[in-house]
Amino acid sequence: MLVVQQLSHTFLSGTEPTQVLSGIDFRVEKGEMVALLGSSGSGKSTLLNLMAGLMKPTEGSILIAGRNIEKMNENDLAVFRRSHIGFIFQSYELIPHLTVRENVELPLVFQGVKGKVRRERAISLLSRVGLAGKTELFPSQLSGGQQQRVSIARSLITEPAVVFADEPTGNLDTKTEEEIIDLLIELNMGHGITFVIVTHEHEVARRTKRIIQLRDGRLVDPDIQAGEGA
């Protein structure tokens, strides 16, 4: 489902080039839920943004559902991203003047899906994430946890091959964090959604079946990782 090969990235935007990722290799199978764990500044968001096609890597390749995304031109990538990649942000990124249902429908608007079909799919997904009664409210009328549920529903509406989440519980209290992780686990186990969840919190990472650890832009050897966890 997702293959990352010899991925390296150097930012050229500062006063001197900064290598943020080097020699990253891993794969995520369909239906897996993986945590990408690392401390602040270790390169997690950069790696996620590269995998989601939001930036191009300096070196290496990224395959999603068998397609080499770093080789696509901008147009093809935009189309591919909209239908095959879901993204969940720490700060939800909902559109304030659209209702909860309209926010969830938005990716389908871009795909030209008809109103009635969009509405039905959004309402069904919103009930799956526990927001059946909230579809006509605006984001500002919801709690943080509920807003993140909206953003999760939105990420799923195109039935993407993989959903990337960047610190999805970073703005939430511990209890709400647990509820959101419970929901992601349920969506993974019950519906086979493939998730890659970025976090700096061991407690969050530990709840997934597999942890990939990043340190100073390199993957920590899985054997060392296992030893550290014991």
Positions 1 through 30 that interact with ligand ADP (CB under 6 A): 11, 13-14, 18, 20
126 to each of 102, 105, 164, 219, how far by Cα in Å?
A: 11, 10, 19, 36
- Asked if residue 46 binds ligand ADP (CB under 6 A), the reply is yes
Using CB under 6 A, pick the residue from 7, 24, 32, 42 that binds ligand ADP.
42
Measured distance CA(4)–CA(177) in Å, rounded: 28
Question: What is the distance of C-alpha 60 from the center of its chain?
Answer: 20
Question: Smallest distance, Å, CB 194 to ligand ADP?
Answer: 21
Half-sphere exposure of 22 (CA within 13 A, CB side): 4
Tell me whether residue 90 or residue 127 sits nearer to ligand ADP (CB atom).
Answer: 90
145 binds, among Mg ion, ligand ADP, none (CB under 5 to 8 A by kind): none
User: Number of residues in contact with ligand ADP, rule: CB under 6 A?
Assistant: 13
Minimal CA–CA distance to 157: which of 209, 79, 86, 81? 86
- Asked if residue 45 binds Mg ion (CB under 5 A), the reply is yes
Label residue 217 left, alpha or beta by phi (over 0 means left) and psi (-120 to 50 means alpha): left
Q: Which residues bind Mg ion (CB under 5 A)?
A: 44-45
Q: Which residues bind ligand ADP (CB under 6 A)?
A: 11, 13-14, 18, 20, 38, 40-46
